Amino acid sequence: MSNTVFSLFSGAGGCSLGFKQAGYSILYANDIDEFAGKSYSDNFPEAAFDWEDINKLDFKSILLKCRIKEGELDILVGGPPCQGFSTAGARFWEDPRNELLKSYVRALGAIKPKWFLMENVEGLLTAKNGKYLFEAAKAFIALGYKIRIEKIYAHEFGVPQRRKRVLIVGNRLGKDFNFPKPAIKLSGKIFRNSDVTLAHVIGGLPNAASSKDIVLPYIAPPEDQFEAYLRGTSGVIKEHFCPPMSEIQLQRIMALSPGQTMKDMPEHLQHESFKKRANRRVMDGTPTEKRGGSPSGLKRLIINEPCLTITGAATREFIHPTYHRPLTIRECARIQTFPDDFNFHGSASDKIQQIGNAIPPIIAKIFAEHIRDDYGFDGNISGDGGLIGYSVTKANAMSPSLKKTCALLDSLTINSPQRKIAI
């Protein structure tokens, strides 16, 4: 039997796809979003799926439904969205803004997977001066998990994108472990590396159609292995269209050369909201929902560089390097390393949100293979949790908030006794 996976906060299934590509069996998934759930069920019909608030799930019943016993699941994947990074302290677990993290910890305690992989935004590192991450780590350790916390750079793992995320990986088997080594080691101007760029993932696509009702065929055969992977097996390109633009939209786009943003436009083309956003600074630990959109507005991408981070605003703000139009849904999916035969449901807004929220499948596949091949799922449950190590920045200097985070994490050593936490 292949190794088994549950996915919580699954979204459309980027992480699940990577594990499936690595040969794992996806048994179960959950998400509260209706259209993400439809996308997931379409692409993973073999998995049981609950479209439900995680706080209402009975994990013992889920184990029974999936015919798997407590402690038998190989890995639980997915990360809870952090709702405002609430104030930590003695009443941390009573704060309703921490309900999703609380339910995630409750799931670990009930399912007792051998491994877990949790992904979150970079802001987790400095939220409330590290107290949010500290409380989460303490809870995982109290459940007997040895954990490692690192900020990863997606470009180093073959994703053509300037994407930074925090991963927490843990196991109950008493195994000391390291993260997989990046395929591309970057330093200095890390986002200028030419080995993995937009050209590799969208350069082979024809220009976008003018309507979603038009399905474009492939014309030329794949030029390389990456392109062959992205094309999947369907033989057609879906979601590769750009609706007609207004005259002012087109003028703004045509005013931008590769690498330029809103601030490089003539003043008469700059939108008022762009001006306000361009002058806003985001401080460490600012909650995600208060950050708003990207402060530079429209951006013309550079074909021989990786893309900026794909978010739910990508199809509005990211301009194609050579065509006078925004990126299409399919181009954004490719940049996130979804193959073309992966289906997304809902409106255009729903689809790009699912894509932007996803863990790039290629990264999930790398971690899936690394955990299975280098460490495995055999071993006795040790019950001794602890922090094996962490890596939170490439920079030589740290912000005051990040220094406080590191000070808190330093206290969670393997030999430090951890108090039990009622979840």
CA distance 124 to 101: 12
235: left (phi over 0), alpha (psi -120 to 50) or beta: left
Same domain, 202 and 167: no
Could you list the active site residues?
A: 82
Q: Would you say residue 419 has pLDDT above 60?
A: no
Same domain, 203 and 165: no
Q: What local confidence, expressed as pLDDT, does residue 138 receive? A: 94
Residue 233: CB atoms within 10 Å: 7
Q: What local confidence, expressed as pLDDT, does residue 280 receive? A: 53
Q: What local confidence, expressed as pLDDT, does residue 62 receive? A: 97
Q: Is 415 exposed, middle or buried (0-12, 13-18, 19+ CB in 10 A)?
A: exposed
Taking CA atoms, 127 is separated from 133, 176, 298, 402, in Å, by: 8, 27, 28, 9
Within a domain: 380: yes
Within a domain: 105: yes
76 pLDDT tier (thresholds 50, 70, 90) = very high
Per-residue pLDDT averaged across 348-363, rounded? 96
Same domain, 311 and 348: yes
Same domain, 299 and 394: no
* pTM reported for the whole predicted model: 0.90
Task: CATH number of the domain at 63, please.
Answer: 3.40.50.150
Same domain, 65 and 135: yes
Number of separate domains in the chain: 2
Task: CATH number of the domain at 338, please.
Answer: 3.90.120.10
CA distance 352 to 346: 10
End residue of a domain, out of 327, 343, 358: 358
Domain, as residue range, for 327: 190-358
By C-alpha distance, which of 394, 388, 395, 423 is closest to 409? 388
Within a domain: 417: no
Same domain, 277 and 320: yes
Within a domain: 420: no
End residue of a domain, out of 358, 377, 399: 358
DSSP state for residue 125 in the 8-state scheme: G
Within a domain: 341: yes
Same domain, 202 and 256: yes
Per-residue pLDDT averaged across 235-258, rounded? 91
Within a domain: 37: yes
Same domain, 332 and 378: no
Same domain, 243 and 142: no
Same domain, 74 and 112: yes
Q: Would you say residue 86 has pLDDT above 70?
A: no
Question: Coil, strand, or helix at residue 123?
Answer: helix
Same domain, 349 and 203: yes
Within a domain: 421: no
Q: Would you say residue 346 has pLDDT above 50?
A: yes
Within a domain: 418: no
pLDDT digits over 17-63, tens only? 999 999 999 999 999 999 999 999 999 999 999 999 999 999 999 99
Among 82-96, 100-114, 152-166, 207-221, the range scoring the smallest mean pLDDT is 82-96
CA distance 333 to 233: 16
pLDDT digits over 276-334, tens only? 655 555 444 444 444 444 445 899 999 999 999 999 999 999 999 999 999 999 999 99
Same domain, 205 and 164: no
Q: What local confidence, expressed as pLDDT, does residue 271 receive? A: 72
